[in-house]
Copies of this chain bind each other. A is one copy, B any other.
Amino acid sequence: MVTLSDVAKKANVSKMTVSRVINHPEQVTDELKLLVFKAMKELNYRPNVAAKALARNRTQIIKLFILEEMSTVEPYYMSLLTGIARELEKRQYSLQLVTQHNFDIGGCDGYIITGMRDQDYEWIGRLEKPVVLFGENHYGYDFIDTDNQKGIKMATKYMLDRDYQQIIFIGIDLNEPFEYSREAGYLQVMQQVQKTPQIIRVSNHSHSAEKIIGKNWRKFPGNTGFVCASDRLALGVERAVMKQQGKVPEEYGIIGHDGVFLDQVADPRLTTIRQDVTKMGEACAKMVLRKIEQVGAPQGERLFVPTLVARETTR
């Protein structure tokens, strides 16, 4: 195994200089830097993460809490993980996945938390290492999220553009900020165009949406657009419409939200508000690492603007 000392010897400098080239390059002359880089490359030097962690009194570990039940877990967590993992690896950090069933012990340098419900904020506030949330909140915690409001605004406007007359929002029956933001987006656009909004809230399962749409079918005369708070709901709505022999997209438009996995499985394929979840994952990792560097300084929020992917459920 190639160590710092090996590189140091080869470059005719001290260990410390090599260490500095890696961690504080601004403190080293360009001349020496060059020598050291050359030696590192020639020896194919790989720093020993454990040694670094020990010396700096760090763990080089970030914990990811996924607080939702894994059975209901959205497939997009996989993309989130990919993004986080990619960024952490670049910076020589490891990941530890924490779910309901292993609320645990070992130390870490920071946390990324997602799937929070209101009651979680209390213990989150007591965590002693930097925390970044994936998902908006109103408690002042730093977070990354998609721009929920803008996303649904886009969807609603798109429905209007495509000339659907009656536009209905199918929301998730949950008192969480992301849902409020989405509804707000819908309401704002409806207000702008002076149409009466209509919101139906159901639990986030395709069957719930399907059922409620079926039951209230007579209220949806044709030319109706359904803006849905998730692709799951959109999938359920789509099925309900199809079963009622409603024509998609001619008579009924459907727009989902998320654009990860489910939208492609649907038939016709869902028009959806797509989020780049992987990129958001990277952003979570970057933010928590920056926060660690800055000894816990607040990082604020970062919203990612989603894109509307037009497919087969809108005309």
Seen from chain A, the residues whose Cβ lies within 8 Å of a Cβ on chain B are: 1, 46, 48-51, 53-54, 57-61, 70, 73, 75, 77-79, 81-82, 85-86, 88-90, 92, 94-99, 101-102, 104-107, 206-207, 210, 232, 235-236, 239, 261-262, 265, 267, 278
Decide: A267 and B107 in contact? CB cutoff 8 A. Answer: no
Least CB distance from A209 to B in Å reads 11
Known contacts A49-B106, A92-B106, A207-B267; A85 and B70 CB within 8 A of each other: no
A73 nearest CB neighbor, chain B only: B78
Q: Beyond the given A48-B107, A53-B53, please list 15 additional residue pairs across the A-B interface where CB-CB is below 8 A.
A: A46-B106, A49-B50, A49-B61, A50-B51, A50-B54, A70-B79, A85-B96, A86-B101, A89-B102, A89-B106, A92-B106, A95-B95, A232-B265, A236-B267, A265-B265
In the complex, chain B residues whose CB is within 8 Å of the CB of A59: 49-50
A80 nearest CB neighbor, chain B only: B78
In the complex, chain B residues whose CB is within 8 Å of the CB of A265: 206, 232, 235, 262, 265
In the complex, chain B residues whose CB is within 8 Å of the CB of A48: 54, 107
In the complex, chain B residues whose CB is within 8 Å of the CB of A89: 96, 98, 102, 104, 106
Decide: A95 and B92 in contact? CB cutoff 8 A. Answer: no
Closest 8 CB pairs of A and B: A94-B94, A85-B97, A50-B53, A75-B75, A50-B54, A50-B50, A86-B102, A78-B78
Decide: A102 and B85 in contact? CB cutoff 8 A. Answer: yes
Least CB distance from A242 to B in Å reads 9
A44 nearest CB neighbor, chain B only: B105
Least CB distance from A38 to B in Å reads 18
Known contacts A82-B99, A85-B97, A86-B102; A267 and B70 CB within 8 A of each other: no
A78 nearest CB neighbor, chain B only: B78
In the complex, chain B residues whose CB is within 8 Å of the CB of A106: 46, 49, 89, 92
14 residue pairs A–B, Cβ–Cβ below 8 Å: A46-B106, A48-B54, A49-B107, A50-B51, A50-B54, A50-B60, A75-B78, A85-B98, A86-B99, A95-B95, A95-B97, A206-B265, A235-B265, A239-B267
Most chain-B Cβ atoms within 10 A of its Cβ — which of A50, A105, A236? Answer: A50
Q: How far is the CA of A111 from the CA of B301 in the complex (A)?
A: 36
Q: How far is the CA of A235 from the CA of B48 in the complex (A)?
A: 48
Decide: B70 and A97 in contact? CB cutoff 8 A. Answer: no
In the complex, chain B residues whose CB is within 8 Å of the CB of A92: 106
Least CB distance from A95 to B in Å reads 6
A84 nearest CB neighbor, chain B only: B97
